[in-house]
Amino acid sequence: MQPGVALNAVVCASPNQVSARVGDEVAILDLDMSVYYGLDPVAARIFELLQTPTPLDDVLATVLAEFEVDAPTARADLLAFVDDLIDRKLAVVQAGNAP
């Protein structure tokens, strides 16, 4: 099993997708696979932050400041979500992925 992305990684949304805000959610179209994805408000905010290369620890700080969630849950959910984005080729790691 491949290790997941680390909090020190700099991640950015990949160029093979387009996204649009729909209310407080985001819809993403994977241009390679022609598949749509819908994101809830928290995931939408994370994806919005990843539109430019951003360290995941900065994303975590923003999530903790803007949403009512404890740090361990926010960290685990963020890393799982970003791993999923990377697996689906909707985001790419730009730098610093040491565990």
- All domains of the chain in start order, with CATH: 10-93 (3.90.930.60)
Sheet with 91-95, strands from edge to edge, namely 54-55, 10-13, 91-95
Phi, psi at residue 11, to the nearest 5°? -120, 150
| pLDDT tens digits along 29-47 | 898 888 989 999 999 999 9
pLDDT, residue 21, reads 87
- Predicted local confidence at residue 1, as pLDDT: 39
Identify whether the C-beta of residue 85 lies closer than 8 Å to the C-beta of residue 47.
yes
What Å distances lie between residue 53 and 8, 70, 71, 96, 98, CA to CA? 12, 25, 22, 12, 17
pLDDT in tens, 53-98: 999 999 999 999 999 999 999 999 999 999 999 999 999 998 766 5
pLDDT at 99 over 70: no
Q: Could you report the per-residue pLDDT of 15-30, keeping only the tens digit for each?
A: 989 998 888 889 998 9
CB 81 within 8 A of CB 47: no
Dihedrals φ, ψ of 92, to 5°? -135, 145
